[in-house]
Amino acid sequence: MTKPLTNWAGNITYTAEELHRPQSPDALAALVAKSARVRVLGSGHSFNEIADPGPDGVLLSLAALPPVVDVDTAARTVRVAGGVRYAELARRVHEHGLALHNMASLPHISVAGSVATGTHGSGIGNGSLASAVREVELVTADGSVLAIGRGDAGFD
């Protein structure tokens, strides 16, 4: 990186040498498989160093991955890529006459980031944004892809 990469407020500086932006799920899996320590940077709206992998680690962004938002109006579900921001997600579901049960307070927050950090919206009875997730597809440390959902061990 030419200039130091910081969080949204500028008070946290990430020590990774480079920010990777894989453009496909296969490139993401390959990067994870060859890396010893990986952290994913969402919108950078973090108040601590949790996203910093250290100087020998790999920092990556999901923003360059295809922005998948597949709406199934009959099932009232949405399949969404983790790098998609809530403003885009809300717009896309609205185009199908649907809405999210709860929203992040900031439109630039990524879906994966909000789910990973327990981000909440408004209202005491709405649950965190992760409470709307039925299944997650993720890349494991060896680069394989795993789908895990409600009812699976380790999901709930």
d(CA 91, CA 97): 10
In order of their start, the domains of the chain are: 69-149 (3.30.465.10)
Q: Using 50, 70 and 90 to split pLDDT, how confident is the model at 1?
A: very low
d(CA 43, CA 22): 16
Distance CA 15, CA 32 (A): 18
Higher pLDDT, 10 or 2: 10
pLDDT digits (tens, 9 = 90+) for 130-145: 999 999 999 999 999 9
CB distance 109 to 86 below 8 Å: yes
pLDDT, tens digit, for every residue of 100-130?
Answer: 988 888 889 999 999 988 888 887 888 888 9
Phi, psi of 148, deg, nearest 5? -135, 135
Angle, CA of 85, 133 and 21, to the nearest 5°:
40
- Kindly tell me if the per-residue pLDDT of 77 is higher than 90: yes
Specify the pTM.
0.87
